[in-house]
Amino acid sequence: MLDLLIKNADVISTAPGAVTVRHGHDIAIQGNRIDAVLPTGQIDAGRAKEVIDASEMIAMPGLINAHCHNAMVLFRGAGEDVSIERWFNEVIWPLESNLTAEDVYWGALLGLAEMIEAGVTTVADHYFFMDEVARAVEQAGTRANLGWAVFSAGVERPENKLRETTEFVERWQGGADGRITTWLAPHSPYTCDEAFLRLSADWARKLNVGIHTHVSETREQVQISLTKTGRTPFEVLRDAGVFEVPTIIAHAAHPTDGDIALMARAGAGVAHCPKTFLKLAAGIAPVLKMREAGIPVGIGSDGVVSNNTLDILEQTRLAAMLQKHENRNAEVLTIADALTMACNDGARVLHLPDLGDLAPGKLADLILIRTDSPHMQPVLNVTANVLYSAQAADVDTVICNGKLLMRGRNLLTLDKRQIIAEVRSRMARLQQRIPGQRLQTYEA
């Protein structure tokens, strides 16, 4: 007996270097895995407990958000038209200093609801109060790599804070039926000193986990690192031993050729967040060079205060168009490359090899996208329509770990009205400025 049969879809497979479309195929799901993908008619629908008719729909792997600060949805719209320094010092850090664990829980649920509605089934989330985020992920039914962000700059006994995050790693590793993986998340080389980064790497090795961190977001960060230490931020991480464990490098907007070689040798993965770069005028990452070096580059949304949505399809589209524009070459970063980044490469960045493709044996994380609206017609090129024409609202059905999370645009695990009401009720307190409050300051 099969648990679920999806009938008559156009199926996009995003195996590396081989994006294919199979028209009129069925997908059989058994437990949390894909059992078979075969032409319609070859699998007996009578064998399935539940059947979904996916005529006029495209099936593809669930999208992977490789870098996010999910609960920052609470601050959507708060930091517009400001420099990166003002963005941190005048907007983000005052707001974040008011956050409570419960705020983060409701913020995470809001973000997860938005991500499910946009077809995102996995997120690498880097934030605070991560026990609450884990609870939210458990409830939403999605998959997540969770890292509790820590700093050493301006923090008394930061090693104690780090130790608390290692306890979180152990508490939630493999949680929510295996949907949660946990890594360490020292914030960045500009907010963590080298000794702290070394301690983080030592802990990661001991716990057999990776490190998720921000690197070389702006040219100024690289310049200041060179002036202070004689090394690029990547070289500082290398010397601290960070590249001896798996890494998610968020941004990597300004790596040198040496940094790219270093990442390639180390097997590091990059989370590329093009909308954040554009809004904060931070410069565009050399995605083509990094991909040519064999580095997996996934797509991240970053937090919505610099991005405004968690729509990974939108970010993937921007990633493709920006590389074409930057390289003055319309033939680079093809549709196949872009869709691979959003699925398979994202899975490689997160070290989740059972994700990122629709093939027998893979985990059953997939989405169905409707093609019956005017902006999706005609369907001459399935993958072009997905990358360049589809809207998040075209995602009809979302399945993660073999379970339905959304069907016909109805969320099945989350109560959207309750979440929105809870979030709204917290806004006045979160926006209060508390006199004399000690805040983190941003210095590249």
Under rule CB under 5 A, residue 96 binds Zn ion? no
CB distance 273 to 300 below 8 Å? yes
User: CB 130 → Zn ion: shortest distance, Å?
Assistant: 15
Tell me which residue has tokens 């077809």. Answer: 119
What angle (nearest 5°) sits at the alpha carbon of residue 304, between those of residues 407 and 161? Answer: 105
CB distance 313 to 342 below 8 Å? yes
- Contacts of residue 202, defined as CB under 8 A and 6 or more positions apart, other chains included, come to 241
Q: Which stretch binds Zn ion (CB under 5 A): 93-101, 300-308, 340-348, 394-402?
A: 300-308
Q: Which stretch binds Zn ion (CB under 5 A): 202-210, 301-309, 365-373, 424-432?
A: 301-309
User: CB 441 → Zn ion: shortest distance, Å?
Assistant: 17
226: exposed, middle or buried (Cβ count in 10 Å: 0-12, 13-18, 19+): middle
Under rule CB under 5 A, residue 302 binds Zn ion? yes
Q: Write out the binding residues for Zn ion, residues 99-138 only, by CB under 5 A.
A: none
User: CB 273 → Zn ion: shortest distance, Å?
Assistant: 7
Q: How many residues bind Zn ion (CB under 5 A)?
A: 2
Q: Which stretch binds Zn ion (CB under 5 A): 153-161, 248-256, 378-386, 412-420?
A: 248-256
User: CB 271 → Zn ion: shortest distance, Å?
Assistant: 8
User: CB 84 → Zn ion: shortest distance, Å?
Assistant: 12
Under rule CB under 5 A, residue 259 binds Zn ion? no
User: CB 149 → Zn ion: shortest distance, Å?
Assistant: 9
User: CB 270 → Zn ion: shortest distance, Å?
Assistant: 13
CB-nearer residue toward Zn ion: 62 or 147? 147
Whole-angstrom Cα distance, residue 324 to residue 259? Answer: 23
User: CB 300 → Zn ion: shortest distance, Å?
Assistant: 7
Q: Which stretch binds Zn ion (CB under 5 A): 97-105, 169-177, 245-253, 398-406?
A: 245-253
User: CB 214 → Zn ion: shortest distance, Å?
Assistant: 5
CB-nearer residue toward Zn ion: 235 or 302? 302
What angle (nearest 5°) sits at the alpha carbon of residue 307, between those of residues 393 and 175? Answer: 75
* The two structure tokens encoding residue 70: 């999910």
CB-nearer residue toward Zn ion: 306 or 323? 306
CA atoms in the 13 A half-sphere facing the CB of 389: 19
CB-nearer residue toward Zn ion: 126 or 403? 126
CA end-to-end distance (rounded Å), the chain = 58
Whole-angstrom Cα distance, residue 352 to residue 227? Answer: 37
Q: Which stretch binds Zn ion (CB under 5 A): 21-29, 130-138, 247-255, 283-291?
A: 247-255
CB-nearer residue toward Zn ion: 71 or 368? 71
Residue 213 has phi, psi (to 5 degrees) of -150, 165
Beta-sheet strand order (sheet of 120-127): 63-68, 120-127, 143-150, 180-186, 211-215, 247-251, 269-272, 297-299
Q: Which stretch binds Zn ion (CB under 5 A): 51-59, 228-236, 296-304, 397-405?
A: 296-304
CB distance 52 to 4 below 8 Å? yes
Residue least distant from Zn ion (Cβ): 302
CB-nearer residue toward Zn ion: 4 or 250? 250
Instruction: Say if residue 378 is preceded by a cis peptide, omega within 30 of 0.
Output: yes
**Site residues, Zn ion (CB under 5 A):** 250, 302
